[in-house]
Structure 1
Amino acid sequence: IVNVVADMWGSMPGMGHSGAARAGMVSFTETAAVEWARAGVRVNAVAPGYIASSGMDNYPPQAAELLRAMPRTVPLGRMGTEAEISAAIAFLLSPAAAFISGTTLRVDGARPQARMGWPMEQPDEAVRQRVAVRPFQGFHRAQTPRVFASAPAPREDA
């Protein structure tokens, strides 16, 4: 079993109810892993961070600037892809993860570790060109959300 929970490690002012529910799912994942292990059932969770999905195109137009600014708060300097979440889920369901149970795999570009007041530099262009930082695009039908397709380049002083 792989539960999907959203990032709740960085706090969510104004959304305490949602953070509490997400933390509850992490606790349920850990508890179920212990209770169901004797039946051979592994239970894990995947916690996506900021993922550029088509759902972002449903936000009102006034949210576009905020959405386009989000990657600057991610140490890897970008948003994740739907394919990266799917790959994490497929891994946890595969025989390669046979000894993994009761864990939550965060797929978030180290976003929860970014702290206010601590300088965070974005990866430079040479780093962006390396495979480790390039997004995994495993879906042939994946499309960049419209809000990012027309985005102006991020300002260096922002």
Structure 2
Amino acid sequence: MSVEARGYRSVFAPGLFDGQVVVVTGGGSGIGRCTAHELASLGAMVVLIGRKPDKLQAVAQEIAEDGGRADAAVCDIRDEDGVKRTVASIVERHGRIDALVNNAGGQYISPLENISAKGFEAVVSTNLTGGFLMARECHSQAMRSHGGAIVNIIADMWGSMPNMGHSGAARAGMLSLTETAAVEWAAHGVRVNAVAPGYIASSGMDHYPPEAGPMLRQMTRTVPLGRFGTEAEASAAVLFLLSPAASFISGTVLRVDGARPQVRMGWPMGMPDAQVQQRPAVKPFDGFPRAVMPKALS
């Protein structure tokens, strides 16, 4: 039987993920934390992966308080041997892995000319290599024998990412990896897709320096829907791709970005007014009551 987490207002049916073991990397904050809460609210046993045990335990405790089930494992996803051991321990402890949400990632603001080889490799290792290692091991050690679903979290990198070229390159690579894995692992009943969040009001924004605050607050002016997305809106996209409703969807990317990449110079883009922003097609979905507004936006 599933348990309905206190307060989480998911649009999906109760018990949708009953009996499933779902691994969420970067589960200690932001979109990963929100996704883990929603999965647990729908019956999944969620295994949180990250480098900081205190953050993982805090989220696991939140999920337990809300009536869900969660476990945590400290792992640097860039460490191949560490990833192998972590996945093996999850399979030993829980018996299986049904789904993986490859959410861990990070970057910093810098023009290309100021990015060192070490800095470039660090971002690529986190956003591309680490995701590859997690996907490969979850497939090889668990999903190959019984199927499963993988969702890789990338980013709005259409038109690339000026001032974050290292991240743009890594995210584009992860999209290509998603497409390749979808083909190679389909014969084992494994679906592989990606979600590309646009400008999401998430704790990830708090990692940028204070001087980036004004820029962050102005970003919605380039979004046709005129606002930031919520963590719950990104999570809902992930859960759809993990669900049986997406059983014929693999090798694709679902954008959650308010149509931002379609903005063109010369197009007289108008911002939705307050009345328009309350219409069902535009109004933010705030399904996660534990969400916290980033400091840069508040």
Same fold, TM-score > 0.5, yes or no: yes
Which ranges of structure 2 fall in alignment gaps of 5 or more residues?
1-149
1:131 aligns with 2:246: no
Q: Report the secondary structure of 1:43's partner residue.
A: strand
Equivalent position of 1:63 in the other structure: 212
User: For each residue in 1:45-76, what CA deviation from the matched residue of structure 2 results, as whole angstroms up to 9, or x when unmatched?
Assistant: 00000111122233222211111101111000
RMSD of equivalent CA atoms: 1.3
Q: What are the residue-to-residue correspondences of 1:70-81 with 2, within 5 Å?
A: 70-81=219-230
Which ranges of structure 1 fall in alignment gaps of 5 or more residues?
150-158
4+ residue runs over 3 A deviation: none
Equivalent position of 1:8 in the other structure: 157
1-structure distance, mates of 2:293, 2:167: 26
Equivalent position of 1:144 in the other structure: 293
Q: How many residues align?
A: 149
1-structure distance, mates of 2:285, 2:200: 12
Structure whose CA Rg is larger: 2
| 1:102 to partner: Cα distance | 0.5
1:50 aligns with 2:209: no
Evaluate the alpha carbon distance shift between residue 13 and residue 55 of structure 1 in structure 2; reply closer, same or farther with a 3 A threshold.
closer
1:24 aligns with 2:24: no
Of 81, 85, 89, the residue aligned with 2:234 is 85
2-structure distance, mates of 1:104, 1:32: 13
1-structure distance, mates of 2:283, 2:179: 32
1-structure distance, mates of 2:233, 2:288: 10
Normalized against structure 2, the TM-score is what? 0.48
Which has more strand, going by share of residues?
Answer: 2
State the identity as a percent.
76
Q: What are the residue-to-residue correspondences of 1:101-140 with 2, within 5 Å?
A: 101-140=250-289
